[in-house]
Amino acid sequence: MCAPDHSKNINRVGLFSYLIVEKKISLNINGINVSARPGLTILEAARENGIDIPTLCHIPDLLPIGACRLCVVEVAGSRTLVGSCHTPIAEGMVIQTHSPKVIATRRVLVELMLASHPDACLICDKANICELRRIAADLEVGLPRFRARKHYFPVEDENDRMVRDMSKCVQCRRCVMACKSQSGQPLFSMAYRGFDSKVIYGNDQPLDRDACRDCDACIEICPSGALRKPRKPGEERADKALFIKG
Amino acid sequence: MPQQRVVLKNCEVIDPERIESYLAKDGFKALAKARQEMTPEQITNEIKASGLRGRGGAGFPCGIKWEGARTAPGDIKYVICNADEGEVGTFKDRYILEKDPFTLVEGILIAGHAIGAKQGYIYLRAEYHHLLQHLQSTIDQVTQRGFLNGFKLEIREGAGAYICGEESALMDSIEGKRGEARYRPPFPTTSGLWGKPTIINNVETLMNIPPIILNGAAWFSQMGTERSKGTKVFSVSGDVEKPGVYEMALGSPLRELVEDLAGAKNIKMVQIGGATGRVLPAEKLDTPLAFEAVLGAGAVTVYNRSRDVIDIVHRTMEFLAEESCGKCTPCRQGTEVMAEVLAKFAKNEGSLKELQNLADLSSAMMLASMCGLGQAAPNAVMDSLQYFRGEYEKRVAS
Amino acid sequence: MTSKRVKKPSQERAELVERLKEAQRHHGCVSEEVIAALAESLAIPVHEVYGVASFYSFLTTRPLGRNVILVCKSLPCHLKGAEMIMEAVAKELGIGPGETTADGRFSFELTNCIGLCDHAPAMLINQDPHLDLTPEKIKQILKSYK
């Protein structure tokens, strides 16, 4: 039995390994009794049972980040909603993943992300594969009720592997986490605080020519238009899908 | 009801610079009793029986926290004293550190013995840098007298961040990181500082430990209410004649504190618990000060009838927006949106639609934020909307 | 076992905040050079050091004057006339909040609650508390900082 070390990226099963016991855990999700392996998070147990919970910061097999809060669910007996990506299942847990309270909360969260997001989907290179946009459509979020000042940062396009537009960042931290897990010399950290928080490179400078090597891990998991591959007009797009619901 | 001094019994009585003065007032007798006559289990049981709850705002039962860390597997454990009181209008820990640092150190040493920790930290907010030498001298004197008995006690200083008063952010800060909230579980009692079992207790909580050990749980639990035992130290500021630190039995009415002791007149409202605290109008002054009613960390800011509710709530939200760590969406975005909406009301440019939006936003922040800051951030907005809705409506653009 | 104390990486890392503050005391701010040197000596990336330095409000990457004035702007001080104190400081120094005097003697900043509410309005200069302020007191107090 050993407590988890937060300083390292470890496999998520390892995070709650101190809770692992032999027996399977029975729980109730959305009124249905299910059983799942000990050590799983609520999110994993739900997904194993075919229930999809939206999330913008979760990366399978990496340490949970817990920043976006979209994966919150109702757990009986809990005063607040609970982040399903980082909460381990426990015997007898009664969970609601799509109750009215949960849906209303998720809508507000998406609206909050959109509150400071540039209104630039029409010309965004990732509009057709944007996870933020897909989740907003799924939750039937239209024009957000909330507005906040926008973050305007110049587009960083010096690097020939990656274009960064931090105006579109939703601060999920996936790129920070993915880069850390892939490379010996991670590129990004969080800087500043509160609403001014930002994913930075170096001393908060634009991504330069030599910055990134070759893995593309951060680009693939970026849920918004903040990170993308440079693309010239006429080149094939990543996906044809376009989200129009909502 | 007069003041009842348990936590503050030595303040203004002993010479806080000299350990001899503290020893003359039964100093370190509780530590001797704990080490010589009690097992760690007996100590945690005594604290549990006393009903002592954390004085930093959340009110978690202290004995249960200690038992969690005591029984957690592992050889290395830590005790952290949270001296990062950053809640707007709170200064009681500063007063305690100034006037009676010895009882605090004794409390920390008893906690160390109870959970099996050999190392402790006092996390002092950077704003209290002026207390650093004084506190270090206290630790040096305690060390010279041999009371540490192998325990290592160090002061770690913050660098200006309200959020570091939140226990998980505090630990990250001690580890030399950005002070961001962590999700729980795992809880600090099993996986805290550097992943080791850790207890984090507020200054005032630890001040209660020596008297409980000396006088017993039964003595302590006579004071207070059914669910809030003991006394509470309040920091009273704002529109009062005598701002300062007052200690009363828990359950005492707010009115006695602000009117009888601090001399407030013409009260319009009182903010209890600082920026994340509750707002009560003058009609509610008979509310008891207790965990089951209003309390927080005991910051009590009084506003008289000349004050503008919208301005107060706006400033409160600006503070929270500046101090949010920024990790989770509801707190990072929500405090900013609220601050911007309230700025509009302050300029008489509000709208009724935005009032409804504020309520929906508040609810999401309370339900989905990762730590207590985001969860409690909408309190002042919600309470003022309940009691002073008219003031908002007056500020709607015509 | 040798008597020499070998520090674990995590313990060294824990000194980052303290070393940043120390650097700021010596150099007036956490400059890019300071960040690079700390990153090198603690073997952590530059962006991580910058991330920590930019998180805490008492650390700054902007050069500050020899004496740093922090006037409290939070509610308890506001109620007792903090604005008048800010005006008095601004008038005396000829600079506004966030600025440094041309001679580098003073930087003037506003800060959130410093826990001196029972002596409001209050301020810190170089982390020394000044209590129960009035606009009249400001001139005399500032005189004592060279």
C81 & C137 share domain: yes
Domains of chain A by residue range? 12-98, 104-228
Pick A12-98's CATH classification: 3.30.1240.10, 3.40.50.300, 2.120.10.80, 3.10.20.740.
Answer: 3.10.20.740
Task: Kindly determine whether residue A204 and residue C54, on different chains, have CB atoms separated by under 8 Å.
Answer: yes
Q: How far is C30 from chain A (nearest CA, A)?
A: 11
Q: Which of the residues C52, C54, C56 would you substitute to probe the A interface, choosing the one with the greatest number of A C-beta atoms within 10 Å?
A: C54
Chain A residues within an 8 Å CB radius of B163: 193
A195–C contact, CB cutoff 8 A: no
Q: Measured between alpha carbons, how far is residue B214 from residues B113, B224, B294 in Å?
A: 15, 19, 29
Q: Which of the residues C50, C56, C59 would you substitute to probe the A interface, choosing the one with the greatest number of A C-beta atoms within 10 Å?
A: C50
Q: Nearest 5 degrees, angle CA C131-CA C135-CA C139?
A: 90
C18 & C46 share domain: yes
Option in A185, A193, A202 nearest C55 (CB): A193
Asked if the model's pLDDT at residue B11 lies above 60, the reply is yes
Chain C residues within an 8 Å CB radius of B176: 13-18, 52
Q: How many domains does chain C have?
A: 2
Task: Kindly determine whether residue B271 and residue C75, on different chains, have CB atoms separated by under 8 Å.
Answer: yes
Cβ contacts below 8 Å, chain A against chain B, sum to 142
Per-residue pLDDT, A10? 42
C41 & C97 share domain: no
- d(C-alpha A202, C-alpha A209), whole Å: 13
Q: Percentage of residues in chain C with pLDDT exceeding 70?
A: 94
**Average pLDDT score over residue span A107-119:** 96
C73 & C130 share domain: yes
C32 & C71 share domain: no
Q: How far is B338 from chain A (nearest CA, A)?
A: 9
Per-residue pLDDT, C8? 62
A190–B contact, CB cutoff 8 A: yes
Q: How far is B271 from chain A (nearest CA, A)?
A: 23
The complex's ipTM? 0.95
Domain carrying residue C109: 67-143
Per-residue pLDDT, C34? 94
Task: Kindly determine whether residue C50 and residue A190, on different chains, have CB atoms separated by under 8 Å.
Answer: no
If phi over 0 gives left and psi between -120 and 50 gives alpha, with beta otherwise, what is residue C92?
Answer: alpha
Q: How far is A240 from chain C (nearest CA, A)?
A: 36
**Average pLDDT score over residue span B26-51:** 98
C82 & C31 share domain: no
Lowest mean pLDDT among A70-74, A181-185, B124-128, C46-50: A181-185
Q: Name the one residue in this structure whose structure tokens are 């537009």.
A: A165
Q: Which of the residues B80, B91, B93, B310 would you substitute to probe the C interface, choosing the one with the greatest number of C C-beta atoms within 10 Å?
A: B91
Q: How far is C1 from chain B (nearest CA, A)?
A: 19
Q: How far is A61 from chain B (nearest CA, A)?
A: 17
C44 & C71 share domain: no
C60 is a domain residue: no
Task: Kindly determine whether residue B329 and residue A68, on different chains, have CB atoms separated by under 8 Å.
Answer: yes
Q: Identify the structural domains of chain B with CATH numbers, from first to last.
A: 19-221 (3.40.50.11540), 231-304 (3.10.20.600), 310-393 (1.20.1440.230)
pLDDT in tens, B263-316: 999 999 999 999 999 999 999 999 999 999 999 999 999 999 999 999 999 999
Asked if the model's pLDDT at residue C62 lies above 50, the reply is yes
pLDDT grade for B398, boundaries at 50, 70 and 90: confident
Amino acid at B321: A
**Average pLDDT score over residue span B86-100:** 97
C91 & C139 share domain: yes
C91 is a domain residue: yes
Asked if the model's pLDDT at residue A244 lies above 70, the reply is no
Per-residue pLDDT, C3? 39
Q: What is the CATH number of the domain that holds C74?
A: 3.40.30.10
Q: Measured between alpha carbons, how far is residue C65 from residues A158, B161, C93, C95, C105 in Å?
A: 36, 22, 12, 12, 5
C87 & C111 share domain: yes
pLDDT in tens, A1-56: 344 444 444 444 445 555 555 689 999 999 999 999 999 999 999 999 999 999 99
Mean pLDDT in chain B?
97
Per-residue pLDDT, A234? 75
Task: Kindly determine whether residue A69 and residue B332, on different chains, have CB atoms separated by under 8 Å.
Answer: no
Asked if the model's pLDDT at residue A245 lies above 70, the reply is no
If phi over 0 gives left and psi between -120 and 50 gives alpha, with beta otherwise, what is residue B199?
Answer: beta
C139 & C72 share domain: yes
- d(C-alpha B5, C-alpha B210), whole Å: 14
Residue in chain C lying closest to A191 (CA) = C51
Task: Kindly determine whether residue C51 and residue B130, on different chains, have CB atoms separated by under 8 Å.
Answer: no
C73 & C118 share domain: yes
| Strand bridging mode A25-29 / A32-36 | antiparallel
In the CATH hierarchy, which fold is given to the domain comprising A104-228? Alpha-Beta Plaits (3.30.70)
C111 is a domain residue: yes
